[in-house]
Chain A
Amino acid sequence: MIRFLLRRTVSTLLVLLAMSAVIYVVFFAAPHDPAVLVCGKGCDGARLAVVRHKLGTDLPVWEQYWQFLHGLVAGRSFDSGTDVTRCAAPCLGYSFQTDQPVLQMVTQRIPVDFSLTVGAMVLWLLLGVGTGLLSALRRGRFAERALTALTLAGMSTPVFLIGLMLVMLFCASLQWMPFPSYTAFTDDPAQWAANLVLPWFSLALIISAAYARMTRSSLLETLAEDHIRTNRAYGLSERRIVFGHALRGALVPVVTMLAIDVGQILGGAMLTESVFGFDGLGRLLVNSVNQIDLPVVVGVTLFAGFFIVIANAAADVLYALADPRVSVA
């Protein structure tokens, strides 16, 4: 187990390193000069040079990247020409556009994605596992075919599409609720939940389709196994067989799927955030990419990658814990 965790940590670090390096190279190769954007209109050559120096984009790409890594591990200093700013250890630098510390910008947005993920997860588990269970137990009947069709439709709907439809139906046509805008949980929990209902449902309706499929096929496969046949021979009721014996084994792949999905959404749900106008990590990324705000892009990507890689590792651990036949070593 310890060996596994160690190996996983090393590979996590390598993936994150590779991701940040790719971003640096990609943005360095880009024809846009962030300094021009920052400097604004009526910018002359001398001022541009000063801005370039301040942003650090006058250095070769490997040196910029090295400074970034150094800042991440040991902090770094920024020399704006007139004064020196010290940025302490996990330093992601400062935004080219707003001069805010990137770490702060990112951590400010995390609650939005966290709120999105938590509520949506509960919903999609209920919907997905419930649907899967029902269609596995009603195999061959009308209910199963209807649910299969619904599942296929759910898998085929882009998340921004269902978000748009929900907003159009409930906010524009029926006017049952106002257009969502994010309220912090600590400010007003009721408002928080009310504003998140539509985003939660749009994520959950889409994602639950995959869970329904997985639960159904996994349960059917488990029900065909020998130990279930033995249980049947003992005369256990179907309910006890399914809920007492089969479901646990059948949900193993669902748990690993869950870990991965949670990791992805925590790292920014770009489309959902855009539909509902929530300022989470995803929107931050889209905006900073459009403004060539390199430190912010790298910061958000690292966080997104971090969540995903951690979730993958968690999925493997959960898989091993839930299924004694699998060993992580």
Chain B
Amino acid sequence: MSETSTVPRSPDVDPRPPGRHQVWQRLRADRAALAALVAVALLVLIAAAAPLICALEGQNATTFHNSLIDSATGGVPIGPFGGASGAHWLGVEPGTGRDVLARLVTGAQVSLAVSLGATAVQITLGVVIGLAAGLGSRAVDTVLSRAMDLVIAFPSLVFAVALMAVVPGGFPRPLLLMLVIGVLGWGQTARIVRGQVFGLRGLDYVAAARLTGARRARVARREILPALAGPVITYGVLQLPANVTQEAGLSFLGVGVRPPTPSWGQMLASATDWFQADPSYVLLPATLLFVTVLAFTVLGESVRTALDPRAKSRLRAGLDRRRGKRNPEEAEA
């Protein structure tokens, strides 16, 4: 018999997020959310079908085509629109003649896999550490809270650049990117989870579960964790676009995925030399990156509104952030 169904909840504070059915209904009523959802679905489809798309076009992301670029001008693709043709639908890369479409769709795989993986790492670390801080002893809480402060205060891009450069070349780069972005970015999630746990801990149904003699791990798993789903999902979806941007940024700086593996950030970095000669080579990855981040951002906002009926009054996320930083100190004093 499940404890949650027998223990009455406190009537005025219901920590449960709206039911799944409700959330879906709210999202469906939100036109921007639907558009974003369609865009995200398309991107996932493109990434998943990348090998298929390449096969359909009959190209791959790594073969050089020296005959398609003009060596006299330093490698500008021959023909208009970056050398687009029946064989190379979106043209070829200046300098190398590699197929742009194949590189774009393979880059979509990298972008999505890295950002999703990094978000998963951030959420897992954040939830585990936040739970431990919120339910552990005061000493544990103090140590973990300081660790959160430290991770949040660390200039994460600076550290990501440093970490990416020192790991041996043999380590798979996308996996490394995932881990680095994840390990540097769990602080905020942990802080949110810890705050939520502090709020939940005092509620009647959690106290009741404790009174029945449930152990701490069980209380955490059965009573606290389900109630955390809302805020954690919300923050996770809002983290996704930030992670897409970070992957692109690191690859743009030349410390992300290594050639020959394509990535949008890397394509943009190499495009800087071809502004005038081949604008389409700049615009294609730029548009894809922008649409991806925008779609995830809109989706994140919509999920937040859908999951939280009070979202409108809580738009001061930044202020909440600062308050969240303050509260633990008051609690300790």
Contacts and interface: CB of A to CB of B under 8 A. Distances in A.
Nearest to B333: A329
Interface string B75-92: 000000000000000000
Interface in B248-293: 248-249, 252-255, 265, 268-269, 271-272, 275-276, 279, 282, 286, 289-290, 293
Contacts of B275: 167-168, 171-172
Contacts of B150: 15, 18
Contact of A157 (B163, B279, B290, B316): B290
Given A152-B301, A172-B275, A301 B162 contact: yes
Contacts of B269: 274
Given A31-B168, A270-B253, A257 B158 contact: no
Nearest to A224: B313
Given A156-B241, A253-B318, A168 B279 contact: yes
A153 B163 CA distance: 30
A289 B245 CA distance: 21
Interface residues of A, number: 60
A186 interface: no
Contacts of A127: none
A285 B158 contact: yes
Interface string A6-42: 0000010001001100110011011110000000000
B162 A297 contact: yes
A12 to B, nearest CB: 9
B297 interface: yes
A173 interface: yes
A309 B316 contact: no
Contact of B282 (A26, A168, A300, A309): A168
A31 B322 CA distance: 40
Nearest to A153: B294
Contact of B158 (A157, A160, A301): A301
A14 to B, nearest CB: 8
Interface string A228-250: 00000000000000000000000
Interface string B295-319: 0111001000000000001011011
Nearest to A16: B153
Interface in A236-295: 253, 256-257, 264, 267-268, 270-271, 274-275, 285-286, 289-290, 292
A15 B148 CA distance: 12
A165 interface: yes
Contacts of A68: none
A166 B206 CA distance: 55
Given A270-B161, A305-B154, A218 B319 contact: yes
B312 to A, nearest CB: 9
Nearest to B252: A160
Interface string B57-78: 0000000000000000000000
Contact of B163 (A26, A32, A221, A290): A26
B45 interface: no
Contacts of B265: 160
A30 B271 CA distance: 31
A155 B297 contact: yes
A213 B253 contact: no
A267 B239 CA distance: 23
A197 interface: no
Given A152-B297, A286-B254, A26 B153 contact: no
B11 interface: no
A27 B165 CA distance: 9
Contacts of B166: 26-27, 29-32, 289, 292
A217 interface: yes
B203 interface: no
Nearest to A256: B322
Interface in B227-244: 241
Given A164-B268, A285-B161, A217 B297 contact: no
B155 interface: yes
Contacts of A297: 162
A286 B155 contact: no
Interface in B119-164: 149-150, 153-155, 157-159, 161-163
Given A157-B290, A161-B286, A286 B252 contact: no
B305 to A, nearest CB: 13
A26 B162 contact: yes
Interface string A160-196: 1100110110011100000000000000000000000
A26 B163 CA distance: 7
A155 B37 CA distance: 18
A38 to B, nearest CB: 16
A275 B265 CA distance: 12
Nearest to A213: B315
A275 B158 contact: no
Contact of A158 (B159, B248, B301): B248
29 contacts: A23-B162, A27-B166, A29-B166, A152-B294, A156-B241, A156-B290, A157-B293, A160-B252, A160-B265, A161-B290, A168-B279, A168-B282, A210-B318, A214-B319, A217-B315, A221-B316, A253-B318, A256-B318, A256-B322, A271-B253, A274-B269, A275-B272, A289-B165, A290-B254, A290-B255, A301-B158, A301-B159, A305-B154, A308-B155
Interface of B: 149-150, 153-155, 157-159, 161-163, 165-168, 241, 245, 248-249, 252-255, 265, 268-269, 271-272, 275-276, 279, 282, 286, 289-290, 293-294, 296-298, 301, 313, 315-316, 318-319, 322, 326
Given A172-B275, A270-B161, A285-B161, 17 more contacts: A11-B149, A26-B162, A26-B166, A30-B167, A31-B168, A161-B289, A168-B282, A172-B276, A213-B315, A214-B318, A214-B319, A270-B253, A274-B269, A285-B162, A286-B253, A301-B159, A308-B155
Across the A-B interface, give the 8 residue pairs with the lowest CB-CB distance, nearest first. Answer: A30-B166, A217-B315, A156-B294, A172-B275, A289-B165, A156-B293, A253-B319, A156-B297
